[in-house]
Structure 1
């Protein structure tokens, strides 16, 4: 009886060994994913397009070995040391795959990579300050500035070559009351993949009223020193002034205007060309007087 058990165990072991031997030699095909790992990248180089995360390899080999591949974490080393700026094609080659001669590579997807290569550089550019918004029609933008007015940008060389300046836009509406100045921190407008340092700048806008010039006829005021009588040859003068257009919409501004003859501390008797002082409303300035002086007779 003991001999029969020994014979049965030996037969079972031989059967199992034979099964492993047969299945081990059975050839099968399978698809295997291999992540791509870049090696020897040049300093500052970037791949903008065409690089994939992994390749798929269809291979043939012994069933037992093929089944074990999923646990081996195989990767494909992509040597990028010779890449240059521009568009290039790299072939995926069988010899660089971490596979032994026990496997036959039948197909690779993709079998080549069409790469768009660039280099990261930096440069300094000027900023163009712009204001955008609704503004009371009686006012205008005088100036808008950015501080700093130069920034450093960094990104792909092919894109940076085309950039000589960047825009910063201050957006604010003032449909009614308009301040003299308005300041705000504003981000810099740049294409994707380009960074600026600093990323935002301080902008300040300066506003002022719209102006126009007009001629105004004013009565000439005469306040003669005591003891003398002054008689000008004309009772009115004409003034060319510049001021806010909103001020001139009615004649109320004339209440804040005056033209007055100027007398010296000791006036002699006779006829003289006298100057006259002009008082103007706030925000106005004198452009021209007609006449510049007024002939005046001084008598006792």
Structure 2
């Protein structure tokens, strides 16, 4: 009888040993998957917005990205796509004024549901919105010129259309009584009728319809040809080591009539030459360089090259 009981105990012992090994293996696998290989990772997520009510415009608070810190198995963390991560945020519930939109696990997409969410920065988005307003306003022309006042005279300025519709935040649009339209005159177009298309400059978040207008005007002041005798200047740090021949050249230029006798304006015409690398007593033909003031046009110069020589040591 005792021999039979001993045999039963011996048979149960291997079974218990196998069960113990299986339990230890399961615990080890659980530790490897759930504990030992659980890591943290930080990723940047770009934010896309949708659902903004059609009667509102967001004036502040639209951040472009958030930083998300995750914890999870290393194998899963490595599976996060390396390409651009994007999360859509619904703004359909925002109101005029300030609305706080929380960012939590429930707000993030399915990409992050397999992970423990450790932190989100910022944890919320503070949105400022205003009522979207449309208003028709006239254009206010401002005639400007790169030349001194009175050098160019303008007549028959016309703008089409004369009014535009502004669309944007109520706080901004309601304070706009007109849109400035700056017309920058081209001195070289003196004596002609000019046609231009000018894009309107509006405040941030405000759009104009149409965004650009057609402008026509006539510059009544004419242009005339002036002959100038100019000294050829040597440029560069070692200019004293060189000479130039001829030392002066005659230049024909076209200028606005109102500036044809202005010594200050005409004196802005400069003629120069940069000496090449030369040995002492060597010479070389070099092209002239011209610096013209605004509104001046260079006609055919009497000469386009001069001779530059290096002095003896």
* TM-score scaled by length of structure 2: 0.48
* TM-score scaled by length of structure 1: 0.49
Bigger radius of gyration among the two: 1
